[in-house]
A and B are shown apart, each in its own frame.
Chain A
Amino acid sequence: MLETPVILVVSFAYLGLLFAIAYWGDKRAAAGRSIIARPSIYALSLAVYATSWTFYGSVGRAASTGVGFLPIYLGPTLMFALGWLVLRKIIRISKENRITSIADFVASRYGKSTLLGGLVAVIAVVGIVPYISLQLKVISNTFSILREYPEIVSPSELGSPSLFADTGLYVALVLAAFTIAFGTRKLDATERHEGMVAAIAFESVVKLVAFVCVGLFVTFGVFGGFGDLFGRAAALPQADELFTLGGPDTGYMNFMWLTVLSMLAIVLLPRQFQVAVVENVDERHVSKAIWLFPLYLLAINVFVLPIALGGLVSFQGAGVDADTFVLALPMAEGQQGLALFAYLGGLSAATGMLIVETIALSTMVSNNLVMPALLRAKASRVTERRDLRRLILGIRRAAIVVVLLLGYAYFRAAGEATALVSIGLVSFAAVAQFAPAVLGGIFWKGGSKSGALVGLSAGFLLWAYTMLLPSFARSGWLPESFLEDGPLGVEALRPEQLFGLAGLDGVSHAMFWSMLVNVGCYVGVSLFSRRSAAEHGQAALFVDVFRQPGEGSRFWRGTASVADLELLLARFLGPRRASEALAEFARGRGLVWSEAAEADAEVVHHVERLLAGSIGAASARVMVASVVQEEPLGIEEVMDILDETSEVIAYSRELERKSQDLEAATAELRAANRRLKEVDRLKDDFVSTVTHELRTPLTSMRAFSEILLDNPELETSERERFLRIVIEEIERLTRLINQVLDLSKIESGRADWQIAEVDLREVIEDCAAATAQLFADCEAELDVWLPETAPPVAADRDRVKQVMLNLLSNAAKFCAPGRGRVAVELRVDGGALRVDVRDNGPGIRPQDQQAIFEKFRQGGDGLTERPQGTGLGLPISHQIVTHLGGELWVESAPGSGATFSFTLPLAGSPVGTTEGKG
C-alpha cells in the first residue's frame, strides 16, 4: 500500500483534514462558542514544541548519546514549574499592551523602540530559518524513504530530487496557503487564530499517538518487552556509552546547558510565544498546562530510547540513519499501515511547527521590519492611505511565503550536511539571546534600551561566530581550516575554541560565550546609561504589571478629537469594527459615545493598544502621534508619576515619624517647662520665705532696740529681758542663715562629707543625752531601745547626728505637753539600719506628710499655730539621709502621733559604698 500515489493522497487528505478543523474552529469562534477555550487544548497547542526534530531527531540523538536527548524536554518541565511566575507575567503584560510577538514584546518594554523590535525580528528570522528548513527537509526525506518501500534507504543515498519533483517544495507551498488562509484571514487587534490553534492541538494528538504506537510496536512487537530490549541492547559495543553519562558528547556540562537552553526556548521561540502568550484565551489555563504539558513531553519521550536501541539492534551495520528509525523499523518489519501512520505523525509534527512559526515570523516581519520602514519612508505616503488593512495583510502574506521559501532555499543549499539535532540547537541558541532582554525586562526596571540593544547585538554576533559559522563550515560553505586553525590562521579566534577555551562541547561553548557577553552588556550598559521618559514608563508597566493594571494612559498628555482617532482606527480595522470598538470601550467606562468629543488620555491609549495588535507597538505609537496633538512628558514628569505613589507613601511615613518625634519633644519640653516653672516658683517661695524669716527677727530686734534707745530710764530687769530677746533673735537669725547655707551646700553638692564607719548606737545615745534637758523642759519622757550590738554604717557622723538631733527636737516640740512620750528604736532592716522616732503628739495630716520635707513648710495650720523652728530642719535631714543612700519618711495618723523613720545602709553593702561621693 506504500505506493507513491497512496502516500500523496494520504498526505493531502491529512492536510485537508487540518483545513477542515481550522475552518470549523474559526466558525465556532465567530459564533462565540470557542472550542479552544479550555486548558487541555491550550496544553496540547503548546506541544507544537515537539517538532519533527522531536519525532525523528530525538531517536537519532538517543542512538548516539543515550539519555543525552532528554534535557531538551526536562528544561521545559522546569520552566513550566516557573511558569506561574514567568509565563503568567508575560501573558498578562502582553494582554495589557496588545503585544503580538516576541519582537514587539522587547520593543515595547524598552520604550517602544523600533530599532530594538527590528533587531529581534532579524535575529528571529536568521535563527529560525534553518529550523524551518529542517522541517521541510524531514517531510521531503521521509516521503522519499517511504516511497522506496520495501527497500530502506538512508537520506544521504537519496540524492537531491529535481526542484519540481521535490515534495518539500509542494509541502511548503501548501502550508503557505494554509497559513495565509487561517493566519491572515482578517486583521484582528488581538491577533488570535482560533482555527489554527484547534488544528495545532489536533496535530499534537496525532504525533503523540503515532509515536507511542511505533514505540509499543517496537518494544512489544519486535522485542519481548523492555527487559528483552534493554538486555539485547546491552550486548551492543557502544552500550556503556548509551546507558551512562560523562562521555565525550554527553558531559554533565552539556546536559546542563541543554537544560538551560530548552528552558529559555520554551518561552522565547517565536512559535512558543505565539501559542503560549498570543493565542492564550484565558490566563487561568496556564495553571493546568503547568503539569499537563510536561506530562505530554514525558509521554512522547518514553519510547525514544527503546526505538533508538531497537533500531541499533535490528539494523546493526545496515547503514540505516538513526534519524529515520521511527519510520524504518515498521518498514523493516513489513508493517505498512504503521509506517504510513508514523509518516503522518512526522508530517503533523513538522506542519504544526511550520504553520505557527511562519505566522509568528510574518507578524514580526510586518510589524517590526516592514511597517516601521514604510512609516519612515515619506515617499511611500503610507500615512495618507485611507484603508491600510489590505496593505498590512498583503505584507504578512508575502512574509509567510518568503519565510517558507527561505527555509526551502536553505534546505536545498545546505543539503545533507548536518544532522537534524544540530540545526535545532543552533536555532535554540539564537532565541536564547532574547532571554536577558525579556526576562530581565519583566523583573528588573533598570534594564535600558541601550543595554538591551548592545547585549542582543553582542550575543547575536557571538552566537553567529561560535555556532552558525561552524555549521556553515561543516556544510562546506567555509573552508575546513576556518574551524581547525581559526580565521586567517589566528588560533585564539577558532570559533569552537574561542580564546583557547577548550574542553567544552559546541553548545556549551557557544552558550557560555554568547550569554557572557549578552548578559554582561545588558546589565553593564543598563547600569551606566540614561533612560528616556518612555523607557521609564514602559519599564514600570512591565515590571509592576500585577500591581497597577492598565494604567498606561498615565504617561500621556495631549489633545485629540474622537473623530480623528476613529478615522485612524478605521484605516486598519475597517470603519464598522473601528466604531464598534470605540463604542464598546465607551460603554465599558460608562460614558455616552459622541464623535465630536475631545478624546482623553485613556481613549488615546486604548486606540494605541488596538493598533498595536495590528501593526506593532512602535508603529502604533507613530500612527497615533500623527493625529494627536501631543505634549510629550519630560523625564522628570514621568519619574514624578512613577515615584508619586511610593514617594507619597514614604513622605507620609516620614511625616508620621516626624510628628511622633515632635510630639515626644513637645511633651519633654512641656515637662521641662513645668519643672522650670516649679523651680522658679520654689525659688520665689524660698526667697520670699527666707526674706520673711529674716524680717521677723530683724523687726523684733529693731523694735526692742528702739525701745531701749528711746527709754534710757527703763528698769534694769526690763532692759535685760529686752536685750535677751534681741540676742535670741540674733541667734535665731544666725541659725537660719547657717541652715540656708548648709542646705544650699548640700543641694549644690559642695558639702564636705567625712564618710567613715559609724556606730549608730553611740550616735543615738549621744543625742539622747544632748536633748535630755530639752525633754525635761517640756516634761516629756524619752525611751531609747537599742540592740546589744549593731553593725556599723558608712556615713558622716556629724551629719547623722544632725539628723538625729533634728528628729528628737521635733519630737520634743510636738509631743503632747505634760504627758509626752517619745520612743527611739534602732534595728537592722535588710541591708540597712533603721531608726524610728515615735511621738504621741497630734500627728500629721496626710496632705502634709510630703510637704513637711519641703523647705519652710511646717505641719499644721500656719494661721492658727505659731510655727516653731526655721522649717529647714526636715528638708536638710532628708537631703542628708538621701545623700547617704538611705530613706527618710513619716508615718502618721492625725491624733495618734507620728513616727519618723530613716534608714542608713550598712557599711560594705553595695548601696553604702557607691554612695558617699561629693
Chain B
Amino acid sequence: MNHGRKGERLVALAFLGFLLFDYPLLSLFSTEGTVAGVPVLYAYLFTSWGVLIALMALVVRKSE
C-alpha cells in the first residue's frame, strides 16, 4: 500500500478522535451511573481512546 492511503486513513482517524473527545458526543456520556463499577464518562473516554490507538496501530501495521 502506498504512503498516501496511510496518511489519509490516519487523518480520518484524527477527525474521528476529535469527534469522539469533544462536545456533543462527549455530553452523551457525561451522566451519572457506572459501567462495571466504573463511572460512565471515565469508561467511555478510556475505551474510545484505546480503540482509537488500536485502529492507528492497525493502519500503520497494515501498510508496512
Q: Residue A255 at the B interface, CB < 8 A?
A: yes
A755 to B10, CA, bound (A): 76
- CB within 8 Å for A252 and B10 given contacts A67-B41, A81-B56, A288-B60: no
Tell me how many residues of A have a C-beta within 8 Å of chain B.
39
- Give chain A residues whose Cβ lies under 8 Å from the Cβ of B64: 287
Interface mask (A228-243 → B, CB under 8 Å = 1, otherwise 0) = 1011001000001001
| Contact call A259/B10, Cβ cutoff below 8 A | no
| Contact call B21/A227, Cβ cutoff below 8 A | no
A70 to B11, CA, bound (A): 21
**A244 in complex: contacting residue of B11, B18, B30, B52, CB < 8 Å:** B30
Q: Residue A71 at the B interface, CB < 8 A?
A: yes
A297 to B37, CA, bound (A): 23
Sorted nearest first, the 10 A-B pairs with minimum C-beta distance are A227-B37, A252-B23, A81-B14, A291-B57, A243-B39, A291-B56, A244-B30, A245-B30, A78-B17, A81-B13
Binds B, one of A82-90, A203-211, A331-339: A82-90
**A80 in complex: contacting residue of B27, B50, B56, CB < 8 Å:** B56
**A243 in complex: contacting residue of B32, B49, B53, CB < 8 Å:** B32
* Contact residues of B between 26 and 63, Cβ < 8 Å to A: 26-27, 30-32, 34, 36-42, 45-46, 49-50, 52-54, 56-57, 60
Residue of A nearest to B21 (CB): A74
Residue of A nearest to B40 (CB): A243
A82 to B57, CA, bound (A): 13
Q: Residue A295 at the B interface, CB < 8 A?
A: yes
Q: Residue A66 at the B interface, CB < 8 A?
A: yes
| Contact call A259/B22, Cβ cutoff below 8 A | yes
Shortest distance between the CB of A418 and any CB in chain B (Å): 27
| Contact call B50/A70, Cβ cutoff below 8 A | no
- Give chain A residues whose Cβ lies under 8 Å from the Cβ of B23: 252, 255-256
- Give chain A residues whose Cβ lies under 8 Å from the Cβ of B40: 243
- CB within 8 Å for A81 and B11 given contacts A287-B60, A294-B53, A298-B46: yes
| Contact call A85/B37, Cβ cutoff below 8 A | no
Interface mask (A73-111 → B, CB under 8 Å = 1, otherwise 0) = 010011111111100000000000000000000000000
* Contact residues of A between 215 and 270, Cβ < 8 Å to B: 225-228, 230-231, 234, 240, 243-246, 252, 255-256, 259
Most B C-beta atoms less than 10 A away, residue of A81, A82, A231, A287: A81
A-B pairs with CB below 8 Å: how many?
106
- CB within 8 Å for A226 and B10 given contacts A244-B32, A295-B53: no
| Contact call B39/A78, Cβ cutoff below 8 A | no
For the complex with contacts A252-B27, A290-B60, 16 further pairs of A-B residues with Cβ separation under 8 Å are A77-B49, A79-B14, A81-B56, A82-B14, A84-B6, A225-B37, A227-B38, A228-B37, A230-B37, A231-B37, A243-B32, A243-B42, A244-B32, A244-B41, A287-B64, A291-B54
Shortest distance between the CB of A264 and any CB in chain B (Å): 14
- Give chain B residues whose Cβ lies under 8 Å from the Cβ of A568: none
A83 to B60, CA, bound (A): 11
- Give chain B residues whose Cβ lies under 8 Å from the Cβ of A256: 22-23
- Give chain B residues whose Cβ lies under 8 Å from the Cβ of A328: none
20 A-B pairs with CB atoms under 8 Å apart are A81-B10, A81-B14, A81-B17, A81-B52, A82-B14, A84-B7, A84-B10, A234-B34, A243-B42, A252-B22, A255-B23, A259-B22, A288-B60, A290-B56, A290-B60, A291-B53, A291-B54, A291-B56, A291-B57, A294-B52
- Give chain A residues whose Cβ lies under 8 Å from the Cβ of B34: 230, 234
